[in-house]
């Protein structure tokens, strides 16, 4: 038997990210918890970046979807700790990014001790999400949203977004 | 289909999929903002304003670059940094207001403006606690590179320590901020070296910007009594303790760039007061006048 919590969690998990709609909030790893407190469904989300402008939309979308699913009282809370990492994007999410022509992030670099200064450009060995070629070049480290860099494939010549490691 | 809505055809009538939330939202909704035991809430609020005003004011200066950078890629980079710093400012100002609600400027009855916005848009310059490096007017591209390098070296060092803060909110803001300041600092360091070793003109401009901003650097590692007190309580970081680390990182950049340290003395305060005490250059008032004018004209506005 499906509990109320499980049903609410399934609805919340299926809500899509407003900036990368091929991903659900669960795929993106920002949905941290869904619980039922009395007659209130409490969903907890964490921002990807400090200034992520999509937080308000995600909150509104969660409230709308859960309300539509019959949960009368919904509360969305922010969780700041631990900070989001691109490592939390699920395998399903990575596959969805590739299918949509985006390059998923590699493992995030988390150095122990003081953060080293890097004066060389960020280098990533990426494959083109469209043709699979490894001959890719970076166009811009900063892209259409805070979480993406812009690349180009030297074989099929298509530009593509890479979701950055954080 | 509603012909009055341009999004109708695009979104099948579900406009909630399009517009970013238009209501005010609390960036600390559901976060436990209890002041840690033994900590003075008023002191904690001032400390959060110091850190938050730095990022708010610098974010505004970086945002002024929007559409004006020499290349589109760098324009986007600067806007990206401005957004990160604004996000950090929102969390810090909201944390300040939660620690001491009495610091929030009063607004007319019925105003929907949340505390963080009241602090950002309804305080005069004399109540801002940012270092003066954050507020001086923009110059050329070398100027923004140098400003961001000096700021991000110091801020990254502070945030690394602040991750262990006894205040859980500050610790979490710091942990996230470390990731962001890491690429701000790398970007500024790379451009510093590129300009220094580029053409004679790019090097001349870089050295001029460094010379101009150098006197503002000392304030980044000067200790205010509130910082000393909260550092002793395990909640804040005394910036003097990260001074040596900032010198090491800066020397790395200067060595690769083949640039000598300027010899200029720090910008003096007035009667011992500086940015952290609310003493600012006149540039801050002008910047705030533009930044705050719409919010102040419509204190009960809904957007």
What ipTM, to 2 d.p.?
Answer: 0.94
pLDDT in tens, A45-92: 999 999 988 888 899 999 999 999 999 999 999 999 999 999 999 999
The whole-angstrom separation of Cα B108 and Cα B189 is: 46
Q: At A110, is the secondary structure helix, strand, or coil?
A: coil
pLDDT at position B15 over 60: no
Q: pTM for the complete prediction?
A: 0.94
In this predicted structure, what is the pLDDT of residue B86? 97
In this predicted structure, what is the pLDDT of residue A133? 96
Q: At B45, is the secondary structure helix, strand, or coil?
A: helix
Q: Which of B84, B156, B185 sits opposite A51 (nearest CB)?
A: B84
Instruction: Return the closest-CA partner of residue B287 out of B174, B175, B161, B125.
Output: B125
Q: Which residue of A has its CA nearest to B28?
A: A78
Residues in chain A closer than 8 A to B190 (CB atoms): 119-121
In this predicted structure, what is the pLDDT of residue A97? 96
Q: Which residue of A has its CA nearest to B18?
A: A18
Is there a contact between B172 and A49 if contact means CB atoms under 8 Å apart?
Answer: no
In this predicted structure, what is the pLDDT of residue B139? 98
What is the β-pairing status of strands A148-153 and A40-45? unpaired
DSSP letter (8 states) at residue A111: -
More confident residue, B27 or A111: B27
Q: Which of A75-84, A89-98, A121-130, B160-169 has the lowest mean pLDDT?
A: A121-130
| Residue A150 near residue A139 (C-beta atoms within 8 A) | yes
**Which residue reads 């596959």 in tokens?**
A95
Smallest CA–CA separation between A1 and chain B, in Å? 30
In this predicted structure, what is the pLDDT of residue B102? 98
The whole-angstrom separation of Cα A80 and Cα B165 is: 14
Query: Binning pLDDT at 50, 70 and 90, where does residue B160 land?
Result: very high
Q: Which residue of B has its CA nearest to A151?
A: B73
Q: How far apart are the first and last CA of chain A?
A: 39
In this predicted structure, what is the pLDDT of residue B99? 98
Residues 9-38 of B with CB under 8 A from A: 16-17, 19-23, 25-31
The whole-angstrom separation of Cα A124 and Cα A105 is: 10
In this predicted structure, what is the pLDDT of residue A2? 86
A103 pairs with which residues across the strands? Answer: A162
| Residue B286 near residue B128 (C-beta atoms within 8 A) | no
Q: Tell me the average pLDDT of chain B.
A: 93
Q: Tell me the average pLDDT of chain A.
A: 94
More confident residue, B3 or B157: B157
In this predicted structure, what is the pLDDT of residue A1? 76
Q: How far apart are the first and last CA of chain B?
A: 25
């Amino acid at each position: 038997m499906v509990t109320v919590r499980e049903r609410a969690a399934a609805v919340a998990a299926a809500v899509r990210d407003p900036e990368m709609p091929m991903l659900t909030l669960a795929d993106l790893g920002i949905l941290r918890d869904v619980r039922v407190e009395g007659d209130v469904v409490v969903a907890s989300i964490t921002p990807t970046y400090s200034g992520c402008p999509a937080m308000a939309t995600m909150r509104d979308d969660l409230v709308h979807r859960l309300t539509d699913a019959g949960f009368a009282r919904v509360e969305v809370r922010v969780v700041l700790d631990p900070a989001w990492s691109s490592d939390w994007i699920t395998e399903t999410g990575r596959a969805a990014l590739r299918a949509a022509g985006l390059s998923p992030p590699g493992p995030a670099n988390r150095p122990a001790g003081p953060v080293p200064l890097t004066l060389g450009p960020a280098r990533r060995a990426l494959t083109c999400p469209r043709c699979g070629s490894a001959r890719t070049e970076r166009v811009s480290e900063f892209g259409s949203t805070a979480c993406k860099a812009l690349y180009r494939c030297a074989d099929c010549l298509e530009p593509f977004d890479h979701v950055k490691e954080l | 289909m509603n012909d009055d809505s341009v999004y109708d055809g695009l979104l099948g009538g579900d406009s909630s999929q399009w517009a970013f939330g238009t209501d005010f939202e609390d960036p600390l909704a559901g976060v436990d903002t209890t002041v840690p035991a033994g900590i003075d809430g008023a002191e904690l609020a001032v400390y959060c304003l110091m850190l938050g005003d730095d990022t708010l004011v610098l974010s505004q200066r970086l945002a002024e670059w929007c559409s004006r950078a020499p290349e589109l890629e760098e324009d986007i980079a600067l806007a990206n940094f401005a957004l990160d710093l604004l996000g950090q400012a929102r969390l810090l100002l909201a944390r300040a207001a939660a620690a001491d609600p009495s610091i929030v400027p009063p607004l007319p009855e019925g105003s929907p403006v949340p505390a963080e916005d009241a602090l950002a848009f309804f305080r005069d310059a004399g109540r801002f606690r940012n270092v003066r490096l954050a507020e001086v007017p923009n110059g050329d591209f070398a100027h923004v590179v140098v400003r961001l390098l000096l700021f991000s070296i110091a801020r990254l060092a502070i945030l690394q320590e602040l991750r262990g803060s006894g205040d859980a909110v500050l610790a979490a803001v710091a942990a996230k901020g470390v990731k962001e300041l890491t690429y701000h600092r790398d970007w500024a360091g790379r451009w510093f070296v590129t300009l220094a070793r580029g053409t004679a003109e790019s090097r001349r401009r870089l050295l001029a910007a460094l010379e101009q901003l150098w006197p503002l650097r000392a304030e980044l590692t000067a200790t205010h009594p509130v910082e000393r007190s909260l550092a002793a309580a395990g909640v804040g970081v005394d910036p003097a303790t990260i001074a040596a680390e900032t010198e090491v990182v800066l020397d790395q950049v200067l060595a690769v760039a083949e640039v000598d340290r300027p010899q200029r003395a720090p910008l003096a305060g007035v009667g011992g007061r500086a940015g952290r005490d609310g003493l600012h250059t006149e540039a801050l008032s002008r910047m705030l006048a533009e930044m705050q004018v719409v919010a102040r004209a419509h204190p009960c506005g809904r957007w």
